[in-house]
Chain A
């Protein structure tokens, strides 16, 4: 007997990381195929992860970056 919904939600990350054993993976997929709620949940987790990956990058201010390049330049110019 495969995982129940309450257990499945705790296995979502292992599933997406491909860390489940082949048997557990099959049981997970079988449950999702037959359970609307868990299918919605899995889809929402995927949407969440995708959104995280699209957040704009954090940037160092240009002035700070230029200063660091200047430091690198003087380091590389040393004897």
Chain B
């Protein structure tokens, strides 16, 4: 029931490659078979499959094989991890309370 845990470092590693970003950009328009995804990229099918593995391991992409066709689609779990990272409320508050300590340590008096 729970969504798969996503490792944020894996997500950034996945996004660190321009070919993978191009693949994600294409998939954000809708699901595609591996061959249709690979068509505009000027690399071997093997390389595409390797990139897809990285994307799948990072939780950004989900692939499914039906017969001989493997279909790829964007997986929102990876995106959700990004959101949570951006909005890591805990570290946000840790930093705020540290800054409060710095402010309180200043000498009392005018602004």
Q: Does B bind A?
A: no
Q: Which residues of A contact B (CB under 8 A)?
A: none
